[in-house]
Amino acid sequence: MNNYLRRSCKIGLSLSLLLFLSQAGWSQSVLLASNVRHNSVQETTGNVRLLKDVLNEFNSRYGVNILFERGTVDGLSVVSSTISPRATLEKNLGNVLNPLGLRFKKVNSNSYLIVNDRTIKKVADTDSREQETELLVQASRQPMVAQRMPDVIRIPKIEPAERTVSGTVKSETNEPLPGVSVVIKGTTRGTTTDAEGAFRLSIPDEGAAATTLVFSFVGFLNQEIAVGNRSIIDVQLLPDQKLLNEVVVVGYGVQRKSDLTGAVGTVKAEMLQERPAASLNQGLAGRITGVNVSVNSGRPGGRANIRIRGNTSVSVANNPLYVIDGVILNATGLTNGSTPIDYINPNDIASIEVLKDASATAIYGARGANGVILVTTKRGSSSGGRINYDTDFSVGVLPKKIPLLNAREFLQVEDVAYQNAQKYDPVGWAGGKYKDPKTKRTNPLLFDASGNPLYDTDWQDESFQKALTQNHQLSFAGGSGKDSYGVYLGYRNENGLVKESYLKRFAGRFVFDSQLKSWIKVGGSLSYNDQKENQVDPLGSGGIIAMRQVLEALPIIPVKYPDGRWGGNEDYPGMEGGGNPVNILKDRFFLVKTQTMLSNVYANLNLTKDLELRTTLGTNVINQEIDEYAGRTLNYISRNQGGTAAITNERHNSWQFENYLTYNKRFAAQHSVTGLLGLAWQHVDRFTSRAATQNFQDDYFQFNNLGAGSVPQAPSSSAVGYGLNSYFGRVNYGLRDKYLVTLTGRVDGSSKFGSSNRYAFFPSAALAWRVVEEDFMKNVRPISNLKVRTSYGVTGNSEITAYQALAGMSNYSVIFGGARAIGVGTGRLANPDLRWEKTHQFDVGLELGLFQNRLSFELDYYRKLTTDMLLNAPVPFSSGYETVAKNVGSMENRGFELALNSVNVNRGGFAWNTTFNISFNKNKVIALTGGSDIFVGFTVVREQEPVGSYFGFVHQGTWSTAEESQAAKYLKKPGDIKYQDVNADGVINDKDRVIIGKGIPDGFGTLLNTFKYKNFDLTVDLQFMYGNDVLFRSQHSAEDRQGIANSFKTVLNAWTPENQNTPIAQFRPVSAGYNTNEDTHRVRDGSFVRGRNLLLAYSFPTPITNKLHLNRLRAYASVQNFFLSTKYEGYDPEVSTTGNAFDQGVALYDYPKPRVFMVGLNIGL
Amino acid sequence: MKTTIKTAGKWLLGVALLFSGSACSDFLEEADKSNFTVGNYFTRPEHATSAVNSIYDNLKTTTGGGFGGAPWMMLEFGTGLANTELGQAQNSIFVRNLVNTSDNEYGRVYWVSSYKGIGNANLVIAKVPGIVMDEAAKKRALGEALFLRAHYYYNLVRIFGKVPLITAPVELASETLYPEQATEEAVYKQIVDDLVAAEAAGLPFTDAAGRASTGAAKSLLANVYLSMAGYPLQKGAEYFKKAADKANEVITANQYSLFTTYDDLHSPTKKNVGENIFMVQFATNIQPSGWQTSIIPYNQGISAYSDETGAIFANKEFVESYEKGDLRAQEKQFYYRSYTLSNDRKTTVDLGGYYIYKHFDTQAHLTTSNSDLNWPLIRYAEVLLTYAEAANEASGPTPEAYEAVNKIRRRAKLPDLAGLTKDQFRESVWKERWYELSFENKTWFDMARLRKAFNVTTKTFENFVGHKFSYGPVLKERELLFPIPTAEIRNNNKLKQNAGY
């Protein structure tokens, strides 16, 4: 019945698509009629249009900036028929401008300048002191810039010149810039450059040396030059990227940055290119305030944990929502901590927008609570063909070794431990349990005749490699003004720092956009990504993994014996016998093969001049196969089973269908209104199956023939599906571009919730005031931008697993008569009242730009309060259940974010820019069910405390001989670890555990300096974090116990009667009893400063590129992770080795991050 | 005119897109295709079988081993007769040193798994009667459910004392989601009722496949009566009589017999037969049992298993307190203190302590590293000892009582008991229980029921409270019960923690 209904629903959808397609075909004929009508309407006004309007239209149609002088274009008009909607921009510009005696110049990738040769020449010829020159005005896209530039500089008559200065102004690519304003600082006296970028200016001779000229030009950074004794001054202006790229993508649309009422951060492709990385998350690290990207593993592709403004949920996902070109990525629970974004080629990205506050995220309603990351991919070209080839080669090395015992020290520790055995286990000692380890050093493969070790293996040297990586990205983009297409190809082969770990990726993407008719634009993209990884750092593993054995393999054991057999700890009796790390790396695989298809098609219909309908259909398919094999002889891993093999297949399919209307209108020049109204459907299906087997006769088969294992394991599979149905709307209203209001609302319905609470409404409201536009600010010249904004809104989190509202039953497996029998019994306590988790967010922001935005600040304060928190809330176990999905509890995040950009120097071809950002977030759990603690991973979730608080004993060092009787009360001896008896009840037990640290930082940020000199670029990118702790769990096996595996060198500081002031217990054989606990000794200050990237690039100048018939040629060399300054003794304090949401900073056998030396080349044709 | 058509077309297209699909009212209805719900199950006879099977699953939860120890060790370390080499198994160490708290994970597992078993049993008891099926089969299914529910409650009431008594499925809106504790009296009454019903459910007297049987129900009931005669209910003579009678029913049925060799106690070929009345079922390579790595010494290289954790072994003083000549205390009977090396089976090493051989799977350790052993829950030796003890309490040391205990002693190569007073006989039977049933999760229950502990030095029984373990700690009143798990106390404020925790 249900199935039938769903099928009929799908048929409905496909019918409407068919309708859509047939309509499109049918409407072609209608379009002609439309053109006729359009023309006829214009005929009544003379079939001519104002040049200014035409240029404005080009601006938006082609997504470029067209700059012109008001005087140049005023009064000029164009015959409509000269404009061809299918032609390229440059062709259209030519058609329009040539008859008027104007021409255009391309000043950079997306800016064009309209030049009137005659006018400028005239100005230059007559030495413009008495001329009234109207400076350039940019067309509609950047009114803010235009208005901050004085519209008219009236240059009064002054005394005759006594000295003349001349020169040429060029762009960074050495193109002459016409129309640049050259003004004597502190006066209104000046001129503009001519068509060749040349200027001549008379300056008063008196004090000439002290005179400073200010060069300014829209879209470029102002530059000041002291005249000194020079009479010729050549200037190169640098583009102001920040101003030129001011359009930002928001949910379901784009907005000018100046019009934003919300907190949105942007990263452009150029910034990502400075630090080529395997995943978007790695590239995003440190770019945006409030976005904490912790790259927790050094493995290829990393394993990043992203938190936007802190953790908002205790038991539901805390990851942001990713939206790629409008397609929402849904899959959760991918293997080993992966997220779907890991399967997107970062080179395809044109820009990333991070939506942080409720004003920005509310349009994503039920899924916006953790912030939204919008990714816009690169499209085709609207101005002719382009070919780009980007490549880089790198080598990663281990930046730091952890000091471990060498062979001699290891044996010495074992000897001392034996001597202490009687003290700690008198009964065992009397029973003859302990033997002098010297007597077992007889194996001739390991020891010489006198018991000295033959080997002294450094397992860090053996296990890590110089990790070579190559990356090739090739793109073809073409098109005219109406149609454009792009083909993007990528290949990446990244080797891991740990041997045998790697990532290989083939990526291909095709994009296509077409202005089919004047009223309809269609397009789409299809991308395919094929990725294969061998991941050697399984999450949450306390078992034997390669990175554990790097620390624990005995130095007295070789990698291999002369006869080719692997060495292992088991070869030396009495050891906890994990294999050596190289052996594990060679004989164990965890291959993750992922094929991802991401596609979308859209159509934009211009229903009226102001009303547009966009319809999009997107799909995301992730097929992931995980192949595992562990060899027949791997101790503690698969030896008991005689080898284990498993294949897991996961298929995540999702589709979404969205339709929305956008209305955009300006009334009476004062009121601008943008309205958005839409609806969406989305469906997600996940199917998982797993087959596993054990006990092989030979390692040959690996996972390729599960039938070859003699002990097949029970197979498993599961199917999960859920749907979402949403209605959303937004109104942006602007009054005189000064007062901005945004109201947003979304209604989401989800199949995951009980029918009574299926739908929920998520509203938000925001206000912004562009103070700088006020009249009273006109005279405050240093302030070039001042905006305050505030927002409040509600967003949701619905990432619970499906079917929680139902009383689902579970499988049980029991044995009768030696065979498996299946049971079906209680599974889940149903909660039909389940509803949405909601996050209420308040944000207030301030944007300030000084000195023509040479110095700009953005400051935000926010408070996020999560209520109705979805919890797998514990219920009394007496019910037969442990938890129920329930809405209880609340949590708060408060924080500040500050971003600062400064152009420190910009003169004489030298520019120095600084970007600094810092974020502070304080997280606090307000309420939980009945106030009870929840233990998640190694942390406790407790009221009034931040999530991610470590829990454990207070380590007070070791008991001294003077404290012998006191120690005895706790059944301890001098030399044992001394824990604080927190509740002073005379025993150390669970009641003495307290909060001992936290993995979440107080503050984090980035300091980025870029230096440009002529064609050279130098970037120094520093990352910092403070107030975060690391729970160094590797100490459990590498410090708390000795003599059964190798240890950290720190154990040499262990307790002895002569060395009693130490945190490390006296050596003793492990079976004599030892203490090991999560305690304060393991909690380490994880604050750090990292040299994230040091990059030197050289862009070849135009003459050379021209000679090579290239458009662009850039070479660079960089060192990533070039230094790390921290007190933490492990590999890297930016770490987490479990999959639990709050286990940030938990370090157990982590995969270190490499220091990467890279060279790269960008070639554009 | 044309304009109108064109505009209309555009709008029609727009409207079609906007509202396509919005007619799917069922779009947000999702069925879980991988799982039944309680609402749509219990429609076929097979469902009764599957639902009953699910109740058995939690029998295995408390067994096992690993680097954290296992819950069953809680009841062993509580006796003061066990030791460990597994320094990181804090749960074991806290219990062993009598500094246990309600945070102990082992206790939580006992509590949770018992109530999960009860939850599944309650579901069967509530829903299976509604299935249209063979009535005799239905009765047997319900009999198994009642037996298992009694088993779980019997563990709960002895370990935790006053516990919530839930006999029907719980939903989010049920009052029983936040229940109060029932008296021990009420819990025992339910246990007896369930077992009496299970006895009459038409189950076979023995079941070689490992399902609940009439013999198992009677044996358990005999044991329940024996406990009811002791602490905390102290129902005395009447219940000793009941216990003796019920145990006698098992004995006189002649369906069970003692194994002739102790090796059979841990032989995979002797599952559910002979002496083994009811067991937790395991099967090699399918669902292997998990405690083998726990009962071998810490990394001495004797096993095919790569992990040798030394999680539990017998206190030297206890093993050495066995009577001289007791076969059970001899090498590789109940305990072992030497074994060959896995990489050299010709070389035998002294292990320096007494490890548990009763649960030792020789084949797994020598070659397969995959154990086929079952875990014994009720074996005939216990029924005999129950009979001996109960009969003595009811009517003094009768010949039948002597015979029951002497069967056990004869197998241990010990002389028959004879000519004892009632009091002497009582202690002799207790001693046999301690020695025969060691490390089978029986001894601590006996200690709590009798409020006695065995002094390994004097080889006499002394009061539980004040008894000093051979390694120092002294039992207090609170140790007569284990603490109710912290989480349960927190999640249900109607519960009262046991005194002293």
What would the 3-class secondary structure string for A211-233 be? Answer: CEEEEECCCECCEEEECCCCCEC
pLDDT of residue A915: 92
Residues of A in contact with B299 (CB under 8 A): 574-577, 1044, 1070-1071
Question: How far, in Å, CA of B195 to CA of A755, rounded?
Answer: 43
- Dihedral sign (CA B429, B433, B434, B435): positive
pLDDT of residue A130: 38
A999: helix, coil or strand? coil
pLDDT digits (tens, 9 = 90+) for A1084-1128: 999 999 999 999 999 888 888 888 888 889 999 999 999 999 999
Which two tokens mark A257? 């940055």
Residue among B57, B174, B285 whose CB faces A711 most closely: B285
Q: How far is A833 from chain B (nearest CA, A)?
A: 10
- Spatial contact of A941 and A925, defined as CB atoms under 8 Å apart: yes
Q: How far is B294 from chain A (nearest CA, A)?
A: 13
Band (pLDDT 50/70/90 cuts) for residue A184 is confident
Asked whether residue A967 carries a pLDDT value surpassing 70, the answer given is yes
B187: helix, coil or strand? helix
Cα–Cα separations (whole angstroms), residue A47 to A35, A75, A76, A1045, B2: 12, 15, 14, 88, 20
Which two tokens mark A1021? 């990118």
Which two tokens mark A1046? 């190798």
Which two tokens mark A1037? 């096996």
Higher pLDDT, A379 or B53: B53
- Cβ distance A605 to B14 less than 8 Å, yes or no, reads yes
Cα–Cα separations (whole angstroms), residue A885 to A243, A758, A927, A937: 48, 15, 16, 19
Q: Which residues of chain B have pLDDT under 50?
A: 23
The residue whose two tokens read 């049925």 is B253
Residues of A in contact with B53 (CB under 8 A): 812, 814, 816, 821-825
- Cβ distance B12 to A808 less than 8 Å, yes or no, reads no
Residue among A16, A717, A809 whose CB faces B37 most closely: A809
Residues of A in contact with B283 (CB under 8 A): 815, 818-820
Mean pLDDT value across residues A465-481: 90
- Spatial contact of A360 and A263, defined as CB atoms under 8 Å apart: yes
Find the closest chain B residue to A659 by CA distance: B18
Q: How far is B73 from chain A (nearest CA, A)?
A: 17
Q: How far is A841 from chain B (nearest CA, A)?
A: 28
Residue among A2, A819, A826 whose CB faces B26 most closely: A2
A1162: closest CA among A366, A354, A474?
A: A474
Q: How far is A615 from chain B (nearest CA, A)?
A: 7
Band (pLDDT 50/70/90 cuts) for residue A285 is confident
> Mutate which of A418, A877, A982, A1074 to disrupt the B interface (most B C-beta within 10 Å)?
A877
C-alpha A918 chain-centroid distance: 16
Mark out the alpha helices in B105-236 (DSSP H runs). Answer: 105-127, 135-160, 184-199, 214-229
pLDDT of residue A738: 87
Question: How far, in Å, CA of A758 to CA of A267, rounded?
Answer: 36
Residue among A613, A750, A815 whose CB faces B14 most closely: A613
B306: helix, coil or strand? coil
Residue among A758, A802, A876 whose CB faces B178 most closely: A876
A59: closest CA among A39, A44, A45, A73?
A: A73
The residue whose two tokens read 């403004």 is A309
| DSSP for residue B213 | -
Question: How far, in Å, CA of A1013 to CA of A1097, rounded?
Answer: 10
A220: closest CA among A243, A244, A240, A246?
A: A240
- Cβ distance B99 to A1074 less than 8 Å, yes or no, reads no
Residue A985 backbone dihedrals phi, psi, to 5 degrees: -100, 10
- The residue type found at B297 is P
Residue among A26, A832, A879 whose CB faces B170 most closely: A879
Residue A502 backbone dihedrals phi, psi, to 5 degrees: -160, 170
Asked whether residue A589 carries a pLDDT value surpassing 60, the answer given is yes
What's the mean pLDDT when you consider all of chain A? Answer: 83
- Cβ distance A432 to B490 less than 8 Å, yes or no, reads no
Strand partners, A249: A254
Question: How far, in Å, CA of B223 to CA of B383, rounded?
Answer: 8
Residue among A34, A813, A884 whose CB faces B172 most closely: A884
Find the closest chain A residue to B52 by CA distance: A823
B364: helix, coil or strand? helix
Residue among B29, B34, B94 whose CB faces A989 most closely: B94
Residues of B in contact with A981 (CB under 8 A): none
pLDDT digits (tens, 9 = 90+) for A739-778: 999 999 999 998 888 777 888 899 999 999 988 888 888 7
Residues of B in contact with A1075 (CB under 8 A): 87
Contacts of the segment B234-243: beta carbons below 8 A, 24+ positions apart: B237/B393, B237/B394, B240/B389, B240/B390, B240/B391, B240/B393, B240/B394, B241/B390, B241/B394, B243/B386, B243/B387, B243/B389, B243/B390
B294: closest CA among B84, B63, B60, B65?
A: B65
- Measured from the Cβ of residue A508, the count of other Cβ atoms closer than 10 Å reads 17
- The residue type found at A604 is N
Work out the angle between the directed axes of helices B45-57 and B105-127 (0-180°, nearest 10). 170
Mean pLDDT value across residues A901-919: 88
Give yes or no for A576 touching B (CB within 8 A): yes
pLDDT of residue A119: 44
Q: How far is B133 from chain A (nearest CA, A)?
A: 18
pLDDT of residue B14: 64
Give the number of C-alpha atoms closer than 13 A to the C-alpha of residue A1027, restricted to the C-beta side.
Answer: 13
- Spatial contact of A775 and A851, defined as CB atoms under 8 Å apart: no
- Cβ distance B123 to A814 less than 8 Å, yes or no, reads no
pLDDT of residue A147: 35
Find the closest chain A residue to B299 by CA distance: A574
pLDDT digits (tens, 9 = 90+) for A34-63: 333 333 333 334 477 788 778 877 776 666
Question: How far, in Å, CA of B65 to CA of B77, rounded?
Answer: 14
Which two tokens mark B218? 């009677």
pLDDT of residue A608: 85
- Cβ distance A807 to B52 less than 8 Å, yes or no, reads no
Give yes or no for A850 touching B (CB within 8 A): no
Strands (E) across B199-317 are located at 276-280, 313-314
Residue B219 backbone dihedrals phi, psi, to 5 degrees: -65, -45
Mean pLDDT value across residues A404-427: 93
Question: How far, in Å, CA of A433 to CA of A426, rounded?
Answer: 10
CA-based radius of gyration for chain A: 34
- Spatial contact of B422 and B391, defined as CB atoms under 8 Å apart: no
B106: closest CA among B317, B315, B312, B365?
A: B312
CB pairs under 8 A between A and B: 352
Q: How far is A306 from chain B (nearest CA, A)?
A: 30
- Spatial contact of A1040 and A1070, defined as CB atoms under 8 Å apart: no
pLDDT digits (tens, 9 = 90+) for A860-881: 999 999 998 887 788 899 999 9
Q: How far is A171 from chain B (nearest CA, A)?
A: 46
B71: preceding bond cis by omega (within 30 degrees): no
- Cβ distance B12 to A879 less than 8 Å, yes or no, reads no
Question: How far, in Å, CA of B316 to CA of A431, rounded?
Answer: 9
- Cβ distance A640 to B33 less than 8 Å, yes or no, reads no
Give yes or no for A447 touching B (CB within 8 A): no
Residue among A9, A33, A806 whose CB faces B27 most closely: A9
pLDDT of residue B435: 97
Residue among A2, A15, A19 whose CB faces B31 most closely: A2
A762: helix, coil or strand? strand
Q: How far is B231 from chain A (nearest CA, A)?
A: 24
Which two tokens mark A925? 């759990």
Residues of B in contact with A27 (CB under 8 A): 6, 9-10, 13
Work out the angle between the directed axes of helices B135-160 and B105-127 (0-180°, nearest 10). 150
Find the closest chain A residue to B97 by CA distance: A971
CB neighbour list of residue B223: distance below 8 Å, 6 or more residues apart? B154, B243, B378, B382, B383, B386
Find the closest chain A residue to B153 by CA distance: A878
- Cβ distance B56 to A814 less than 8 Å, yes or no, reads yes
Question: How far, in Å, CA of A953 to CA of A995, rounded?
Answer: 8
Q: How far is A41 from chain B (nearest CA, A)?
A: 12
- Cβ distance B170 to A880 less than 8 Å, yes or no, reads yes
A751: closest CA among A720, A717, A794?
A: A720
Find the closest chain B residue to A11 by CA distance: B21
Residue among B29, B34, B369 whose CB faces A2 most closely: B29
Higher pLDDT, A973 or A197: A973
Report the alpha-carbon angle B86-A1048-A573, nearest 5: 50
Residue among B282, B306, B487 whose CB faces A577 most closely: B306
Give yes or no for A666 touching B (CB within 8 A): no
Residues of B in contact with A695 (CB under 8 A): 285
Question: How far, in Å, CA of A178 to CA of A182, rounded?
Answer: 11
- Cβ distance B112 to A877 less than 8 Å, yes or no, reads yes
pLDDT of residue A12: 40
pLDDT of residue A136: 39
Q: How far is A481 from chain B (nearest CA, A)?
A: 23
Which pairing describes strands A372-377 and A321-324: parallel, antiparallel, or unpaired?
A: parallel
A512: closest CA among A362, A659, A382?
A: A382
> Mutate which of A657, A663, A748, A809 to disrupt the B interface (most B C-beta within 10 Å)?
A809
pLDDT digits (tens, 9 = 90+) for A1007-1031: 999 999 888 999 999 999 999 999 9
- Spatial contact of A284 and A346, defined as CB atoms under 8 Å apart: no
